[in-house]
Amino acid sequence: MKALSITLLGVITLSAATKLTVADFGKIPSGDPVHIYTLRNQHGLEARITTYGGTIVSLKAPDRNGVTADIVLGFDSLAGYLDNPSPYFGAIVGRYANRIGHAQFKLSGVVHKLAANNGENTLHGGLHGFNQAVWTSRPLPDGGVELSYLSKDGEENFPGNLRVTVTYHLSDSNQLQIDYVATTDKVTVLNLTNHSYFNLKGAGEGDILGHLVTLNAERYTPVDAGLIPTGELRDVNGTPFDFRKATPIGARIEANDQQLKLGKGYDHNWVLKGSGKTLRLAARVEEPASGRVLEVLTTEPGVQFYTGNFLDGSIHGKGRKVYVLRAGFCLETQHFPDSPNKPAFPSTVLRPGQQFHSTTVFRFATSVRSKK
Ligand code: GLA
């Protein structure tokens, strides 16, 4: 497939609802061109997605008074993403999102050694993950955008040519739906997610500690000092990890809890309720002042709730705004970290002839102001 030529495409109205436009977003150092798509629905919701890393660059959503803000962290231009890969702002993460312990795994009797890019472990696919790839793109007749990437056999030492297709659709019911499909020609492992950092007040408008979070999970996977799951599925009851009822992120984040200390805050995988492959609610987040609400639905078994604990004010994002500690939170829908080395966890193995499919939906709404 050839990259889309922007001269062929200005504005296409693909349905009465969603409007799709595409524009130039610069070039990577090798000279490959990068594009940016804008999807807009009838209710003022707008998502911009670039072919560099499949990254969600901006997401504009109205508050309860109809005032729109950009609610994801990121950069105004491609240079920002090229210069700052490590927070993974908004990107598609792969081939294996999250961590693989000791930077290796055994599959069908063969040990695969990976790059140790996070202490002694592998994080988010290694040195050059899917977040740094330029994806092939095409607009879809139904108003969506399709991105595809061939991760070659041996890339970052993962086995098999992995063909990945990710589609984004923005609906008039205020849902941004992301579908992931993948096939391989050799047995391999994969874990795909989107790494958006949300701040429902607006990106760069301080921290997210006042946001109210609900997670549809009774257990989480505690970690060791390298943030690798120990294998235990621990009950959240009576711990700062209990988000079964809406709770401000900041209410317990500094509690005297060993797991919170290891994560420098929340940076853990929750075991979502409900089994199998059905799309169900994983999380709901409400920002009380603006009334903006984000709901996350997924077919994945887990979600990494990460509270931006590695942000430290050194990054200036869109509009030169400073991203302070905990300026955003991520809800990375996923299979559990280190699954290739944890046979009891849901399997991340993909075999030739199988098709991997997973769906995550970011749904936007507003709440009514609560009475004082
Ligand atoms: C994930 C990890 C975090 C951190 C971020 C990127 O959420 O779990 O520890 O590495 O990605 O900064």
User: Block means of pLDDT (10 residues each) for the chain, length 372 residues?
Assistant: 38 60 97 98 96 98 97 98 98 98 97 98 98 98 96 98 98 97 98 98 98 98 98 98 98 98 98 87 98 98 98 98 98 98 98 98 93 61
- Ligand 1 atom closest to the CA of 88, numbered from 1: 6
- Ligand 1 atom closest to the CA of 87, numbered from 1: 12
What is the model's pLDDT at position 192? Answer: 98
What is the model's pLDDT at position 17? Answer: 60
Ligand 1 center to residue 20 CA distance, Å? 31
310 lines ligand 1 (CB under 6 A): yes
Ligand 1 center to residue 306 CA distance, Å? 7
Q: What is the CA radius of gyration of the chain?
A: 20
Nearest CA to 202 out of 83, 281, 289, 131 is that of 289
Q: Please provide the distance, in angstroms rounded to a whole number, between the alpha carbons at the two ends of the chain.
A: 57
Task: Please check whether residue 348 is in contact with residue 96, taking contact to mean a CB–CB distance below 8 angstroms.
Answer: yes
What is the model's pLDDT at position 275? Answer: 67
What is the model's pLDDT at position 7? Answer: 36
Among protein residues, the one whose CA lies closest to atom 5 of ligand 1: 87
- State the CB neighbour count (10 A cutoff) for residue 24: 12
Q: How far is CA 53 from the centre of its chain?
A: 11
To the nearest 10°, report the CA torsion of 77, 42, 327, 197: -70
Ligand 1 center to residue 262 CA distance, Å? 13
- State the CB neighbour count (10 A cutoff) for residue 32: 12
Write phi, then psi, for 77 (nearest 5 degrees). -135, 165
Among protein residues, the one whose CA lies closest to atom 8 of ligand 1: 267
What is the model's pLDDT at position 369? Answer: 82
The secondary structure of 229-278 as a DSSP string is: B-S--EE-TTSTT--SS-EEGGGSTTSS-HHHHHHTS-EEEEEESS-TT-
Nearest CA to 182 out of 25, 366, 359 is that of 359
- Ligand 1 atom closest to the CA of 263, numbered from 1: 9
**Reduced to 3 states, what is the DSSP secondary structure of residue 132?**
helix
Q: How far apart are CA 4 and CA 27, in angstroms?
A: 14
Q: Which residues are catalytic?
A: 195, 332
87 lines ligand 1 (CB under 6 A): yes
Task: Please check whether residue 248 is in contact with residue 200, taking contact to mean a CB–CB distance below 8 angstroms.
Answer: no
